[in-house]
Amino acid sequence: MKIAIASGKGGTGKTTVAVSLALSLENTQIIDCDVEEPNVHLFLKPKISQKIPVKTLIPEIDYEKCDFCRRCSEICVYNALTVLKFNENEGEVLIFPQLCHGCGGCILLCPKEAIKEGEREIGTISIGEKDGIKFIEGRLNISEVLAPKVIEKAKSYIEPDKIVILDAPPGTTCPVVETLKNVDFCLLVTEPTPFGLHDLELAYKVTQALNIPSGVIINKSEKDELIEDFCKKNNIPIFLKIPFKTEIAETYSKGIPLVKALPEYKKAFQEIYQKIKDVL
């Protein structure tokens, strides 16, 4: 089973929930898909056994064949190539690597077959383990933008015989959609504020568009009427309320997982998994 932990905004407690769920169950694998700012490792503290570079396609120009016809720059919707033609036989093709999405269109459509496949590194996959939990982390290199490619690579290490927990990036953009692809269930973590409700609505719409069943966890629970009314109106189950307590905030700030600091929550997360199975 693949369970994604998502939210419409940052800071709601996705990683707290993801790590706690992984630690509460047997035979789990956790994948940190928040590749722009991964932080599962801060709580799980895994022993890393392998690091694998993530590479993407980049065009390389064969100037022996290129006649600077500009066909490649005309078809590139990301404006990653610009062709400068100085005279009949001379010119230059400027490639902007960080704009290139590696689609290969320029290679396919070049009439002179003057473009070949190159590659460049955009991130890293770290593989490790802690307390029997298999750990996968995707990390996007600084200044890169192709987060979905790193997430896709991280997900390629999913072990189908395990309970897979995917810690999604915040928000509702392409990296979140890439994380949610082909998952069985999505836990939406929110907080009982107007901002929390607004972003929960957006995240819930994404799960609907992808036809993924979902449930809600309210973190920093205090006055929850805003969230409860929304969930009741949309028939979304609320699986857990984590209270707004200084003790919980302190354990988080020290990098201690919730279920390690407060073991009584372990049963609550086991019950969440059972409720997910019941829904499915």
- Say which CATH architecture domain 2-55+122-279 belongs to: 3-Layer(aba) Sandwich (3.40)
| CB neighbourhood size of 52 (10 A) | 14
Q: Are 79 and 137 in contact (CB under 8 A)?
A: no
CATH number attached to the domain at 63-113: 3.30.70.20
| CB neighbourhood size of 238 (10 A) | 17
Q: Which residue has the tokens 């692809």?
A: 181
Beta bridge partner(s), residue 238: 216
Domain ranges (residues) in the chain: 2-55+122-279, 63-113
Give the pLDDT of residue 88. Answer: 82
Greatest Cα-to-Cα distance within the chain, rounded to the nearest angstrom: 76
Task: Output the tens digit of pLDDT for each of the chain's 280 residues.
Answer: 999 999 988 889 999 999 999 999 999 999 999 999 999 999 999 999 999 999 999 999 999 999 999 999 999 999 999 999 998 889 999 999 999 999 999 999 999 999 999 999 999 999 999 989 999 999 999 999 999 999 999 999 999 999 999 999 999 999 999 999 999 999 999 999 999 999 999 999 999 999 999 999 999 999 999 999 999 999 999 999 999 999 999 999 999 999 999 999 999 999 999 999 999 8
Closest CA to 39 of 158, 120, 135, 172: 135
Report strand pairing: 185-190 vs 28-32: unpaired
Span between the terminal Cα atoms of the chain, in Å? 10
Give the pLDDT of residue 10. Answer: 87
Angle at 168 between CA 165 and CA 171, to 5 degrees: 155
Q: Are 8 and 190 in contact (CB under 8 A)?
A: yes
Give the pair of three-digit tokens for residue 49. Answer: 């056994």
In angstroms, the CA 269 to CA 215 distance is 13
Q: Where are the alpha helices (DSSP H) in 6-116?
A: 14-24, 40-44, 71-75, 105-109
In angstroms, the CA 189 to CA 165 distance is 14
Closest CA to 183 of 49, 31, 15: 31
Beta bridge partner(s), residue 56: 120
Give the pair of three-digit tokens for residue 205. Answer: 């719409």
Q: What is the pTM of this model?
A: 0.92
